Every structure is written in structure tokens, then in C-alpha cells.
Structure 1
Amino acid sequence: MSAEENIAVVVLAAGGSSRLGRPKQLVEFKGKTLLEHTMDKVDMLGFQTKILVLGANQDKIQQMISSDGFKVVINPNWEQGMASSIKIGLQAALVEENELDHILFLVSDQPFLERVNLIKLVHTQLTKNPKATYSKYGDNIGVPAIFGKAAFPLLLQLEGDEGAKKFLQLDDFNFCTETFKNGGFDVDTEEDVQQLKQMDV
């Protein structure tokens, strides 16, 4: 994306999909799994450091998808929640790129993610230089989100099911947002899968 800025990208795909009862990473949409859709969007942008965090159903997922170009790291503590995957992803990225300036986190169950969503996030982060730039959909703020180096210590302090949205409550945490029109649709239940199938045209 930018020769001046070292940006790593982490795809968080370690969750157990308990509400769905099968790996949502492997739900098919437009001929590909949801995880492959996410990885494809990342591949389009030419990031040097790309991390894929797996946990639950890791063997099945690795049999079904190609992780070429991604460093796969396994989160053995995925049942503890999102924070453990965020920390493992950041730590892996820092090993790959010790001069890391920014880290971009994505999840694997946002089927309507587009390349342009990621370009806008990165552009805003690099030009305005907040501690983070989040996606905004409706009244929600969330992922994909990109964090500057100043936020790394905060990310490493997350616990349990905490996501990085909690930083929004901090007085000195300056952040930006970029609209992600259909970012609010994610796949958690069988009803979501059926709804997605009806959109698969």
C-alpha cells in the first residue's frame, strides 16, 4: 500500500461459531468460503505482512482453503474470546515486521467487504494519523479497523471477549471512522446463512 508505512494485516478467524453449529469461516457465498472472500480482498492490496489467526476447527479450515501468502498462527486459547486472537495476531505481526507502524484487523464473516472499504480505512489512518480508524455501519463502530503504533500497548492489554471497541470510551483515544455500508451483516446463525443464500445472485 505504501512504501513509507509498514502496515500488517491480521484476519481473525479463530472463533468456534457456537451459534451456527459449524465453522462460519467455511460458509459459501458466490462460490467461495467467507474466509476466502476476506483473504482475497486482502491479497488485492499488496500488504507485505499478512497473518491468519485460526483456532477452532483449524484442521478442517486449513484443508479447505489455501493460505498462500499468509502466515498462519494458531490460537490455542480461542475459547477465551476475541482478545486472545487480537494479541496473538499483533505479536505475530511484530515478529514478522519489527518496525511495524499500523495493524489492520479483519474478521471472516463480513460477506460484503469490498477492497474499497480497506483502501478508505488505510487512507484515513495514514493521512489523519489517529490512534485508530474503525468501520462504521448504522449506529455501530467496529471491524475492519486499523490501529497505529500508539495503540499497540492497549491491544496487548485486552482480555477475554473484549474487542478494540472498548478504546472508544477512553478520554485520550482519538479515532476516525469510515462508512462500510453493509458491514453490519455478518454470519452468526443459520438464519443469517439462509438470508445470505438469498442474496447470492
Structure 2
Amino acid sequence: MSAEENIAVVVLAAGGSTRLGRPKQLVEFNGKHLLDHALDKVDLLGFQTKILVLGAKREEIMDKIDSNGFKVVVNTHWEQGMASSIKVGLEAAMAEEEGLDHVLFLVSDQPFLERTNLIKLVHAQLTKNPKATYSKYGDSIGVPAIFSKEAFPLLMQLEGDEGAKKLIHLKDFDYGTEVFSKGGFDVDTEEDVQQLKQMDV
């Protein structure tokens, strides 16, 4: 994406999908597992450092997805919540690439994620240089989101089920947003899966 900036990408896919009762990473949409869909979009961007964080049902997931090109790391504390996966992913990214400037975080259950969403996020981050740029959908902001190295220590302080959105409430935390109109649709329940099947093309 940019020769001047070292950017790593971390795909967070360690959760237990407790509300769904089976790994949502493996839910199929348009003939592809949701996690493979996310990995494919990342592959199109040509990042050097690509991290995939797995946890629950990792053997089953690894058997069914193509993680080629990604360094797979395991969050053994995935039950503690999203913060633990963010930290595992960030630590792995920093270990892989010295002098890391930014980390882009994605999740595996946004079926309408497109390459252009990621390109807009990265472009906004590199041109405006805030501590973070989040995706905006409706009244919410969230992932995908990209963070500058100034935000890394703050990400490492997250606890439990806290996601990186918590940082926006910190004093002096400047951030931007990019619209991802379909980003609010994610897969948490069987109803979501059935709704997604209706949209399958």
C-alpha cells in the first residue's frame, strides 16, 4: 500500500460464537466462509505483515480455511474477551515487523466488507494522521479500524470485552471515521445467518 509507512493487518477471529452455537468464522456466504472472505480482502492489499488471531475451535477452523500468507497466532485466553485478542494480535505484528507505524484490525463476521473499505481507511489514516481511523455505520463506529503507533500502548491497556472503540472516550484521543454503510451487519445469531442466506447471490 505504501512504501513509506509500515502497516500490519490483524484479523481477529478468536471468539467462541456462543450466541450462534457454532463457529461464525465458518458460516458460508456467496460460496465462501466468512473468515476466508476477510482474508481474501486483506490479500488484495499487499500487506507484508498479516496476522490471524484464532482461539476457540481453532483446529476446526484451520482445517477449513486458507490461511496461506498469514502468520497464525493463538489467543489461549480468548474467553476473556476481545481485548485479549487485540493484544495478542498487536504483539505478534510488532514482533514480525520492526518499526511498525500502523496496525489495521478486522473481524471475520462482516460479510459485506470490501477492499475499497480498507483502502479508504488506510488512505484517511495516512493523509490526516490521527491516532486512529474507524469505520462508521449508522450511529456506530467500529472495525475495521486502523491505529497509529501512538495508540499501541493504549490498545495494550484494554481489558476484558473492551474493544478498541473505548479509546475514543479518552481525553486528547484524536480519531477520524470513514463510512462503511453495510458494516453494521455482522453474524452473531442463527437469525443473522438466515438473513444472510436471503442475501446470498
Partner of 1:81: 81
Shift of 1:44: 0.2
Q: Distance in 2 between matches of 1:68 and 1:100?
A: 22
Q: For residues 101 and 110 of structure 1, what CA distance do their matches in structure 2 show?
A: 25
Q: Which residue of 2 aligns with 1:8?
A: 8
The match for 2:91 is 91
Give TM-score scaled by structure 1 length. Answer: 1.00
Shift of 1:171: 1.6
| Amino acid paired to 1:178 | E
Provide the rounded CA distance (Å) in 2 between the counterparts of 1:156 and 1:2.
25
User: What aligned pairs does 1:41-190 form with structure 2 within 5 A after superposition?
Assistant: 41-190=41-190
Give 4+ residue runs of structure 1 displaced > 2 Å after superposition: none
What residue identity is the alignment partner of 1:187? V
Q: For 1:155 and 1:34, locate their aligned partners in 2 and report how far apart those are by CA, in whole Å.
A: 25
Query: 1:123 and 1:59 mapped to 2: Cα distance?
Result: 35
| TM-score, normalising length: structure 2 | 1.00
Between the aligned residues of both structures, percent identity stands at: 79
Which structure 1 residue ranges, 5 or more long, are not aligned?
none
**C-alpha RMSD of the superposition:** 0.4
| Structure 1: distance between partners of 2:73 and 2:164 | 20
Identify the residue that residue 197 of structure 2 maps to in structure 1.
Answer: 197
- Offset, 1:4: 0.3
Deviations 1:57-99 (A, max 9, x none): 0000000011100000000000000000000000000000021
Deviations 1:24-83 (A, max 9, x none): 000000010000000000000000000000000000000001110000000000000000
CA distance in 2: counterparts of 1:167 and 1:9, whole angstroms: 19
